[in-house]
Structure 1
Amino acid sequence: MNRRVVHQPGGFTSVELLLVLALSAVILGGAVVSYGTLMRSQPSASSMVAVPLGVTRTQAFYGTVSTTVDVGMAPQYGALSLAEELREQFLADTLSATAVYCLPRDGINTWKPSLIAYNPSTDDELDTPQKFRAHIVAHAGVSASLYRDYRNPLNDGVAVPQNASIFVLGYSKYSGYLKVNAIYDIDLIRFTGVTEPNGIHASVKRYASVAASTTPSTLSYMGGYDVFFPPSIPSPTNAAQWSTDGFAPLFVTFERASRLALRETPSTIDRFKRAYERPFYFIWWPDPSARHLGAVTSTLATTDPRQAYNQMAGRSAFMFTVPMFPAL
């Protein structure tokens, strides 16, 4: 019996070849984009700036002794990954906190305690950042000039502070003391000198106790990120052209609405008394993926609390809403 043999054609059809080529293009294109992103995120010689912070700042910031620090020029995607990591740590710290106090500064933060003396029987209730500042000045030997007695932007007619310290308090096992779980320092430093790299050095740093520490101590640098923002209007001879560059406010405080019973002067203070029961903050960190810190104008009315911070919209992916008393 004869068996008919049918020969199948070899190779691929034109449709199959086109499909394979299309899939290959998609895969190769994704690989190129991923590789390009990795290469851009790596610091290179041309993207690094030797910032003359000075010994005082480097020791206060990082616990090291150096006159300069090599910092990536914005946009800096390597620093962006560090900022994302710090964001997760900040959310974890504030989630488990008993109290969060934001204090504005003009200079360097030189005070990083793990404990703060407090007697609940005799000391005042610390229900606002101003009460917390007054307490540490009166009972912890802190200089009154270290942190500003300040209540939100555009209230007192003075310049908005460029730096801030965020005290994250937790449950204390030490009788007569408040426990400081962590401190976050935000600092912006402008450099305009002829021999200096022109721009703004911005950093966010976390300080906490060493894991093995079982005794009261000064908090240690535990990580953070920094980035150097070039002027929005590059001009090596005229710093006035980018004099409005900056990143402020770093935070605003919304007090309890019940405090409207206490009318204060100037009346612009009262516009921030909007929290129903739980006071809270809006907090902003500088974004390493931004190209510069060029000023943005707010156009809202002065009676609107948003007028003090509306210009921060869209300037940073690192914006937080944090209760003053998360445990409540």
Structure 2
Amino acid sequence: MKRRAHQPGGYTSVELLLVVALSALVIGGAVVSYGTLVRSQPSTSSVVAVPLGLARMQNFFNSNASTSNVAMAPQYGALAEAEVLREQFVTDTISATAVFCLGRDNMNTWRPSVITYNSVLHGELDTPQKFRAHVVANAGVAASLYRDYRNPLNDAAGVPQNASIFVLGYSKYAGYLKVNAIYDIDFVRFTAKTDPNGIHASVKRYGEVENPPNPTLLTYTSDYEVFYPPSAMNATAPAHWATDGFTPLFVTFERATRLALRESVAIDRFKRASERPFYFIWWPDPSARHLGAIPNTFAATDPRQAYNHMAGRTAFMFVVPMFPAL
């Protein structure tokens, strides 16, 4: 039997040249395609100098600047920051003893680390309204700072545009409630011709830090912010986007046993919690393009009418028990 002559392994120069040529074609095509995709995508990196003013900048971020350079929505860098803050919020609420959501119309100017409280003298704080009444009566808080608010359609005053979420924890101080963290959610609308038209949205966390400047007050720790352009672009007619907004920031589901006290349809429709009361809470979503109105077809007697439209505006929705640690 005749044996074949041994053939050396490897590629010939012609084969190598062919592979290199084909690789160049593939890579070149990929680069062209990627460039086309990038150019066809809407800009997500526009930065807006938002004139929040010195008072807001100091209150929100403990900053001495008067403007904040904020990315315009949709903004995926801010989305990553929002995800980090979401995880922190979940961690804070899981270990909490109580969570109280209070609506606001203006800035939050009160961020205590402890609150005076005596269970014998002050009674049970089992609703946000009782918590608000307690701090107004016993902590020197102005009654105008937080709204006496009990879900949408409860009164003709409208839904608060801003909110503060008080996260309470176990206290080692006799006669005091411990505040582990406060989350402030704020929306500022700009319509003047000299301003960038749109809505500035921010979520800030205030908590304890090492060697705080004031041990009785919480300190700014983290945040995310985003600037939403109008849903209808017309700089000369702000009324075209007058319905842009983000409410409610939360709804409170009370114990079903409270139906024993009939109040009104607007109030009673939220008495759905079998055991413990809880909240639905919404945060602004940096990946949303704007805060334009979304149709809502539920009847006013249905609790879903208050928040059905929020499902199309944000992916940041929380279900939080009022008393998580119980």
**TM-score, structure 1 length as denominator?**
0.89
Is the Cα contact below 8 Å between 2:281 and 2:320 reproduced in 1? yes
User: Residue 4 of structure 1 corresponds to which residue in structure 2?
Assistant: 4
Distance 1:231 1:41, change over 3 A: closer
Whichever residue aligns with residue 276 of structure 2, its letter is: R
Moved more, 152-161 or 280-289: 152-161
User: Residue 170 of structure 1 corresponds to which residue in structure 2?
Assistant: 169
C-alpha deviation, 1:9, in angstroms = 8.2
Q: Matches of 1:259 and 1:216 in 2, distance apart?
A: 39
User: Residue 320 of structure 2 corresponds to which residue in structure 1?
Assistant: 322
Is the Cα contact below 8 Å between 1:42 and 1:78 reproduced in 2? no
Q: Secondary structure at the match of 1:149?
A: coil
Whichever residue aligns with residue 95 of structure 1, its letter is: I
User: Residue 187 of structure 1 corresponds to which residue in structure 2?
Assistant: 186
C-alpha deviation, 1:216, in angstroms = 3.6
Is the Cα contact below 8 Å between 2:185 and 2:283 reproduced in 1? yes
Whichever residue aligns with residue 141 of structure 2, its letter is: V
- How many residue pairs match? The answer is 317
Whichever residue aligns with residue 5 of structure 1, its letter is: A
Q: Secondary structure at the match of 1:86?
A: helix
Q: Matches of 1:32 and 1:275 in 2, distance apart?
A: 51
Residues 1:161 and 2:157 aligned together: no
Report the identity percentage: 66
Q: Matches of 1:323 and 1:209 in 2, distance apart?
A: 23
User: Residue 275 of structure 2 corresponds to which residue in structure 1?
Assistant: 277
User: Residue 98 of structure 2 corresponds to which residue in structure 1?
Assistant: 99
C-alpha deviation, 1:40, in angstroms = 8.9
Q: Matches of 1:204 and 1:146 in 2, distance apart?
A: 18
1:70-99 residue CA offsets vs partner (Å, 9 max, x unmatched)? 111111111111000000000000000000
RMSD: 3.0
Q: Matches of 1:124 and 1:138 in 2, distance apart?
A: 13
Is the Cα contact below 8 Å between 2:294 and 2:312 reproduced in 1? no
**TM-score, structure 2 length as denominator?**
0.89
C-alpha deviation, 1:5, in angstroms = 2.1
Q: Matches of 1:219 and 1:78 in 2, distance apart?
A: 27
Is the Cα contact below 8 Å between 2:44 and 2:74 reproduced in 1? no
C-alpha deviation, 1:214, in angstroms = 11
User: Residue 226 of structure 2 corresponds to which residue in structure 1?
Assistant: 227
User: Residue 288 of structure 1 corresponds to which residue in structure 2?
Assistant: 286
Q: Matches of 1:209 and 1:10 in 2, distance apart?
A: 66
Q: Matches of 2:4 and 2:138 in 1, distance apart?
A: 103
C-alpha deviation, 1:158, in angstroms = 2.2
Residues 1:72 and 2:71 aligned together: yes
Distance 1:276 1:50, change over 3 A: same
1:193-228 residue CA offsets vs partner (Å, 9 max, x unmatched)? 111110000000000011345984211110110000
Is the Cα contact below 8 Å between 1:41 and 1:77 reproduced in 2? no
1:291-302 aligned within 5 A: 291-302=289-300
1:107-126 aligned within 5 A: 107-126=106-125
5+ residue gaps, structure 2, are none
